[in-house]
Structure 1
Amino acid sequence: MLLCLAGAYLGRKIGIFEKELLTPKEIANYTGIDERITRARLSELRKEGLVIRKEDGLYGFAPASLKEILE
């Protein structure tokens, strides 16, 4: 999930993806993970500061989490 959001973030920055914020359903579709599990894991990742959640329910990559991906 984190890599999915990182891909959307980077794709948007370089102009090959339309948006960098995704719904849990979109993330579930891209990753093949059940939406309920996706929602639970997104909540955990948000608590860890690795993803952000906007008021409209969209999730995004927290650029500070790049270190986590590279480790």
Structure 2
Amino acid sequence: MPPKFASKTQKAIPIDVVEKPSLVGWLKHQNAGVKAWVKAAGFEAGLGAVLLVPAKDGTLERVVAGWG
């Protein structure tokens, strides 16, 4: 079970920790904007990799961290 640090609120920014072998499966559950950003950034979920994903309005939508 993934760790949960806080309840989901409108102000909470999700942090997704993704293992490299699980990246393709994780992407299947993301919206088109997240998929495009991950691809454009060349994010491969390597250990220690971090990607800040913007929302349509330019604010931070989520953080994706690689777990190798």
Task: State the TM bucket, normalised to the shorter chain.
Answer: 0.3 to 0.5
Higher strand share: 2
Q: TM-score, normalised by structure 1?
A: 0.32
Higher helix share: 1
Structure number with higher relative contact order (C-alpha < 8 Å, ≥ 6 residues apart): 2
